[in-house]
Amino acid sequence: MKRDGIIRAIKFVEDNPHQSLWKIIAEKALLDLDFLNAERALLKVDDFKTLKYVKKLQTLDDREKQRAEILTLYGKYEDAEKVYRNIERKDLAINMKVKTGDFYGVLEMVKEGSGYDEILGKMTNQLGNFYAERLEWDKAAEFYLTSKNYKGLIEAFTMLEDYDSLAQIIE
């Protein structure tokens, strides 16, 4: 929908009101960075949480950052990552992946560059925790070893009854 299209769509929804239609209008307006019509549609569906988020987005200094955040809001993570990469903000792409729990994606992005040693350690530890919660101790041990989380590693080896590896840690 171009500007004229969204105005006609709003007119249609006003004549035939329905919550789902207002949500579609809000999403399309946000994707077009049309904050005025997005706010109007969000008010119609009483989505105050998203409305507050939109107000915050408007304070961002870059339209492309706004676009990426909106894509993230609607679960279009790959598109958001592309936007961040296009504006050369890999750090924001990594932060997005951390927030969404895409630890493997973070690891891949961190391995592509340098200066992310701290993030790499945190993500490998998070993956260790992820597998430990699912009782997949062999995978947990692998990630704990990479992140140098010896407490987690000891727990994993104990659960695996791998006493030789436990003895190596102690030495």
For the stretch 28-78, pLDDT in tens is 999 999 999 999 999 999 999 999 999 999 999 899 999 999 999 999 999
Q: Which two tokens stand for residue 65?
A: 């950052």
Global pTM value: 0.71
Q: What pLDDT does residue 114 have?
A: 58
Closest CA to 159 of 140, 146, 122, 129: 140
Q: How many alpha carbons fall within 13 Å on the CB side of residue 17?
A: 4
Q: What is the rounded distance in angstroms from the CA atom of residue 75 to the CA atom of residue 68?
A: 11
Q: What pLDDT does residue 86 have?
A: 94
Q: What is the rounded distance in angstroms from the CA atom of residue 117 to the CA atom of residue 2?
A: 44
The pLDDT tens digits for 67-112 are 999 999 999 999 999 999 999 888 889 889 888 888 888 888 877 7
